[in-house]
Structure 1
Amino acid sequence: MTRIYNGISTGLIWLLSFSSILISCSKDAKINTDNSIESLVDIENIESNEWWNDAVFYEIFVRSFYDSNGDGIGDLRGIIEKLDYLNDGNPDTDSDLGVTALWLMPIFPSPSYHGYDVTDFRSINEDYGSINDFKALINAAHSRGIKIIIDFVGNHTSDQHPWFTASADNQSKRDWYLWNSTKPNYNGPWGQEVWHERNSSYYYGIFWSGMPDLNYKNQEVTNEIKNTIRFWKEDIGVDGFRIDAVKHWIENGDRQENTSETLAWWRDLYVFQKSLDPGLMTVGEAWTSTQNIAPYSDHRLDYCFEFDLSYAIIDGINNQNSSNLKSKMNEIITTYEANQYGTFLTNHDQDRSFYRFGMDERKAKLAARILLSLPGVPYIYYGEEIGMLGQKPDENIRRPMQWDSSTNSGFSSAQPWHGINSNYQEYNAIDQQQDRESIWSQYQIWIKYRSQNSALRTGSYSFVESNNNRLFSYVRADSDNNNLFIVIHNLSSQSSNELNLRATSSSLPEGSYNLVNLLNNDVLGSITITSNGAFNTSLSEVSLEGFNSYLLKLERP
C-alpha cells in the first residue's frame, strides 16, 4: 500500500518518485496553506484489507455491560472480565458466543449517560476507566482474535466542550462552529429547531442545543479530527470507527443532509484513513434509504449500516411474508459492492427485536439465523442473543445486561445505574448457555457455521424461487465453488411441506449434488445444476417446521 502523507510537504516528492504505484498526484498538485496535498488519487485502487467481512460484531453499551468495581456502572474492566463469554479464543469450545469484533458505544468524557455529546475526543469517560484500562481491553481482545472499533461522534460536540465554550465567548475557535448574528429562517430535516441562542448570537445544532455542530468547512477542524483518528489508531490501537450521523457532516444553507460537500469530505477522509492503515475500518450511520446510503459506501466509508434491510427482516417475520425481504435483498446486491454493508436487527436507537417479536422465541431464533446467513457484516446488539426486552425511551433499550437470575441480574453488586428488565429471571446468559434450544444457542450455533464456512461470510448471494411467499431461500457460494449452500427459512408459523426450489441462474457450478442438512448431517435429497447455475428440484418428502430453517450444503455424491 502506498502511504499518503498529509501535513508534510516532503510527502509530495516521495509520492512523485513512485508514480507507478497506486496513488498519483496531478501535474498541478499544490501545497495548501495548511501543508496538505491536493492531488488526483486513484480511489478505486487504494488498498484495503477487508477483514470485517470475516467478522461478526457485537455492539456494547459500556455503561450497561458489566460493573467490575461495584459502583453500579459498567466499565472497561468489566468487558475484560466477560471476554470469555464473547469469545474465549478457542474455536473448539461451545461455551462462548464466538463473536470476533466489538463495537463500543461512546467511551469519551460526556455530561450525558449515553456519551453522544463529547467533551474530550482523546480521553476516556472516567465512569468507564482510563486509557490504560482501554489499552488492556484491546490487548486482551486481540489475544482472543477479537477486533475493537469505537463510536466516533464527530458531527458535533457537547456544548460543554472547551472548543465550544471558547467559541461561544468569542475568545477563539469562533469559526469551529456555525454562528449567525440573526436566526436563520428554517428548521431541521424532521422539523426540529436547529438554531440556538447563546450570548446574543445563534449557533447550529441539528440534534439539540446541547450538541453544537462542528464547522467542517474550516480546515483546522478537519485537521484536528484527522489527528484524533491518528491518535486512536497509532497511539491506542483501535481497529476502526463506527461514525455517527455521517450524512449531516456539512450543511449547505437549509440543505442539511447528503450534501455534495459532505460526500467530498468523506472521500478525502477515506484517503487519509487508508494512508494510516489499509485495515483501518470505518462504518457509517447514514439512517436513510438504500439508495441514499450508497454514495457513502463508494470509497468514502468502508461501508454503512443497512437500515431498510433490518426493517425488512423483522417485518417479514412478523407478517409471515418474504416478498419485501426478497426485493430488498435484490436491491442491495445490485447497489453495493459485494458484502460491503452492515446488517443488524435493531440497535441502541430502536425498540429491541425481542419486544418487536412479541417475546416469541421462535421468531427471535429465526431472525438470528437470517441475520447470520445473509451476506454483509452482521452486528448483534448486546442482550439480543438472550431475549432482552426494551421499548423507548432510549434508557429502556439500553438497560443493564442480564447475566444471571440473581439480584441485579449479576450485572453489579450495587444498585445499577438503571433498572433491570423484568424478564431477567427467565432470560439471562447463564441459563441460556445451558439450554441448547435457547435463543443464545441459536446465535452461538449459527455464528459458528458462519465462521467455519467462507460461503456464509464472503460468498455470493442469489435468490431461489420457491412454491410460496412464506419461504425465503437463497444460494451462498464461495469464489472457489468449494463451499456451496442453499439456505431456506420458513417465515410462517405453519409447516411447509414439499419444498420446491428453482432458479433460472445462480453462482452454483454445474453438476449433481446431495443436499446435506448441516444441522444434523441428514441427506434431504439431491439436486442437478445446469451450466448456467439453473436448477429445479422438489423435496417432496421434506417438511420445514414453522419459523424454522434449513442450511443445506451441496456435496458431490
Structure 2
Amino acid sequence: MDIIFGKLISDSLKLETHRALCSGIQHQHEIRPLDPGPDDPVAIHLTTANDLPIDSVWLRYSIDGSDPRAGNTPTVDFALVETAWDTVAWGYLSRWRASIPPQADGTLVRYCISGRQRNGELFHADYPSPEERTRHATMLHFGNIPASTPFTPSPQNEPPLFCYHIDRLRAPNWVKDAVIYHIFLDRFHPGAGKDWRQTEDLQGVCGGTLWGVRDKLDYIADLGATCLWLSPCWVSPSHHGYDIADYQRIEARLGGEAALDAVMEGAKKRGMRVLLDLAANHVSNEHPIFLDAFHSENSPYRAWFTFGERFPHGYKGFFNVKTMPEINLEHGDACEWMIENGEFNLRRFGVDGYRLDVAAGPGQNFWSQFRPRMRAINPECVLLGEIIDTPATLRSYTGRLDGCLDFSLTEALRNTYGWGSWDEEKLRAFITSHDRYFADDFLRPSFIDNHDMDRFSLIVNNDSGAMKRVATAQLSLPNPPIILYGTEVGLRQRQSARGRTLDVIREPMPWGERQDRDLLAFYKAAIQARKGDKA
C-alpha cells in the first residue's frame, strides 16, 4: 500500500467512496456540457438509491444572483431516465434528468434539487453527503476519531445550493508547456550566507526563506523549470503555513513582503511564472476572524464556521485538526471575503495564479465564482486544484478550475516504476483511457511525489535507475510536470510516513556535494528534450 494522503490510500476507502455516491439522493454537480457556454442548454443529472426511495424530483433556479430557495423562481421537473443495477453498492439506482435553458455569457446559474417520497417527506440533493461519509471513513482509517464512532449525516435544514458559471474561459496557453518546480519554503534554502536553524526536528522550523528562493532562481532556471509553486507564504504559526492567520501579509520569518517582491522580480527577469499555494478550505485557529467567532456567539463571523459538541474541539476542523478550523464558504460573506483575498494577492504581488489546497473542501460552487473574478484581474492566471478523489470527481471541476493535480496518474506511475505491481503495458492502457476521459483543455499536472506522500526515492530505496525511468515516463506525458524540490538531486527521506506525521517527508534540500549530480544532469537533459519536442 502506498502513502497517498486522503481517500485514495486504500481499496476499502475507494469502495466506501463509491458506495457513498450510490446512496440517498445525489447530484454531485453532474451537468452536461461540463463547461457550458452561452446559448448551451444544460442537462442536470441526478441519481437516487433505494435506501431513500424518491417518487418525484424537481429543481428551482435563479440567474440574477438571488437565492432560488426563496421567492418565485423558475421550477423544472426531472424525468426518470433509467433504472440501473450497481453490484458494488448491491442495489438499484434510478437516474433522473432535467434541463435548464441557455443563458447569457457571465451568468451565474444557482439551483437546488428536491425530491419527495410517497409519504410526502422531502429530501434534497446531496443527501446524505458522500463527502461527509468518506471523510468519516478516512478519519477512522487515520485514527483521527475513535474506531467506534458511528457515521451520522448532518441534518438538512434547507436545500443545498449548486451553481455553474456561463463563460468562454480557457486555461492559459503558457501553463500547457510549463515545467513546475514545487518548493516547500521552510525546507528549500535559508538564503545566501545563512545556515539552517536546525535540520533534525522536522516538526519545527528549519529556516528556509523566500530570500533563499530568490538566491536560487538561477539554479531553478538552469534545471529547466519555467514555473514556481511556492508553499503558503502568508502569516502562519506553523512551519508549513497551511494554517493561515492573515491572507494579506507575508510571514516575516520567510522574509515578508519585500522577499516575495524580490522573488517575483527575479522570476520575471528569467521568464518564469509563480504560483502561490492558497488554502481556502480552512484558516488558522489564531486568525482574528475565527477567534472572534469562537469567543462570541453573537460574532458576525459565527456562521462562517461550524460549531457543535459533536466536534472534538467544539468546531469543525480539517480532519479534526485543532489548528485548522474549516471555513464555510457556502456563507455569502465568507465566500466574498475569500475571493477578495485571492484578488488582493493577484494585484499586490502580480502572481500568475494559485495551486489550491484541499480544493474539494470549498467545492465546485466556490470555484465557479472564484475563477471568473481572478480572470477579470489577470486573464493569464491559472487555478490548479488539489483534489484527491476519483477521476469522475476531478472531471466535475471542468469549467470551474483550469485543472487538478493528477493523483490517479501518480498512483499509476508509482505502481509501475516504484512498487512494480503494474507493467508498462497496463500503464499505457490506463493513460490512454485517462486522456480520453478528460477534456483536452482541462489540465492534469503530473507528479511522482509531493510533500504529503513518501518520496519516490524512498520506495525504490534510492535506486537512481528507477528514478530515471519514472522521470522519463513523467516528462514524456503531455500535461505539465511538477517536480518536488530535491527529487532532481536524489533527496533522501530517512523514514516512511507510515505511522508518523507527514513532516518526515519534508527533509531540507541538499546543496553542494550532497546532491546526486548525475541524476541532476539527467533531469536537465530530459527537461530540455521535452521542451525540444514541444517546440
Matched, 1:176 2:304: yes
State how far apart, in whole Å, the 2-side matches of 1:284 and 1:47 are. 15
Query: How far apart are the structure 2 equivalents of 1:269 and 1:388?
Result: 36
Letter aligned with residue 510 of structure 2 = Q
Paired AA for residue 346 in structure 1: D
* Structure 1 Cα separation of the partners of residues 300 and 169 of structure 2: 38
Mapping 1:362-381, distance limit 5 Å? 362-381=465-484
Shift of 1:450: 1.6
Change (3 A) 1:247 1:445: same
1:280 and 2:403 matched:
no
Give the paired residue count.
367
8 Å Cα contact 2:405/2:445 also seen in 1: yes
Is 1:293 aligned to 2:416, yes or no? no
C-alpha change, 1:38 and 1:336, in structure 2 (3 Å) is closer
From 437, 456, 481, the counterpart of 1:335: 437
Q: How far apart, CA to CA, are the structure 2 residues paired with 1:71 and 1:370?
A: 34
Q: If each structure's helix is expressed as a fraction of its own residues, which one has the higher value?
A: 2
Which secondary structure state, in structure 2, belongs to the residue aligned with residue 59 of structure 1?
strand
TM-score (ref. length: structure 2): 0.65
The equivalent residue for 2:284 is 158
Shift of 1:32: 5.6
CA separation in 2, counterparts of 1:71 and 1:158?
A: 26
The residue aligned with 1:248 is 361
Residue of structure 1 equivalent to 2:367 = 266
In structure 1, give the amino acid aligned to 2:312: H
- Gapped runs of 5+ residues in structure 1? 1-21, 88-95, 184-194, 250-261, 406-423, 433-437, 456-557
Query: Deviation string for 1:394-429 (max 9, x for gaps)?
Result: 222111111123xxxxxxxxxxxxxxxxxx3xxx1x
For 1:83-114, what per-residue CA distance to the aligned partner results, in whole angstroms no more than 9, with x for missing partners?
Answer: 11111xxxxxxxx2010001001111212221
Q: Is the 8 A contact 1:25 1:39 kept in 2?
A: no
Does 2:457 align with 1:354? yes
CA distance in 2: counterparts of 1:48 and 1:323, whole angstroms: 31
Letter in 2 for 1:63: D
Matched ranges for 1:58-457 at <5 A: 58-68=181-191, 69-70=194-195, 72=197, 73-87=207-221, 96-170=222-296, 171-180=299-308, 182-183=309-310, 195-198=311-314, 202-249=315-362, 262-296=363-397, 298-318=398-418, 319=420, 321-338=423-440, 340-390=443-493, 391-392=496-497, 393-405=501-513, 424=514, 428=515, 432=517, 438-454=518-534
Greater RCO, 1 or 2 (C-alpha within 8 Å, sep 6+):
2
Deviation at 1:204? 4.7
How far the C-alpha of 1:274 sits from its partner, in A, is 2.1
> C-alpha displacement at 1:289, in angstroms?
2.2
Structure 1 residues 441 and 70: CA distance shift in structure 2, 3 A = closer
CA distance in 2, matches of 1:289, 1:239: 27
Q: Please report how far the alpha carbon of residue 248 of structure 1 lies from its aligned counterpart in structure 2 after TM superposition.
A: 2.0
Deviation at 1:205, TM superposition (A): 4.0
Query: Could you say if the C-alpha distance between residues 128 and 324 of structure 1 is closer, same or farther in structure 2, counting changes exceeding 3 Å?
Result: same
CA distance in 2, matches of 1:341, 1:141: 24
> Secondary structure at 1:67's aligned position in 2?
coil
Deviation at 1:71, TM superposition (A): 5.7
Task: Provide the C-alpha distance between the structure 2 equivalents of 1:104 and 1:121, rounded to a whole number of angstroms.
Answer: 15
Secondary structure of residue in 2 paired with 1:123? strand
Change (3 A) 1:264 1:381: same
**Where does residue 522 of structure 1 map in the other structure?**
none
SS at structure 1 position matched to 2:265 = helix
Alpha-carbon offset, residue 132 of structure 1: 1.6
Distance in 2 between residues matched to 1:29 and 1:284, nearest whole Å: 26
Distance 1:168 1:28, change over 3 A: closer
C-alpha distance in structure 1 between counterparts of 2:317 and 2:470, whole Å: 40
Q: Distance in 2 between matches of 1:76 and 1:303?
A: 26
What is the rounded CA distance, in whole Å, between the counterparts of 1:42 and 1:107 in structure 2? 30
Whole-angstrom CA distance in 2 between matches of 1:24 and 1:165: 46
Q: Taking structure 1 as the reference length, what is the TM-score of the superposition?
A: 0.62
The answer to whether the 8 A contact 2:108-2:166 is kept is no
Q: Which has the larger radius of gyration?
A: 1
Gaps of 5+ in 2: 1-36, 42-60, 68-105, 110-163, 198-206
For the residues of structure 2 that align with 1:204 and 1:127, how far apart are their CA atoms? 26
Name the Cα RMSD after superposition: 2.5
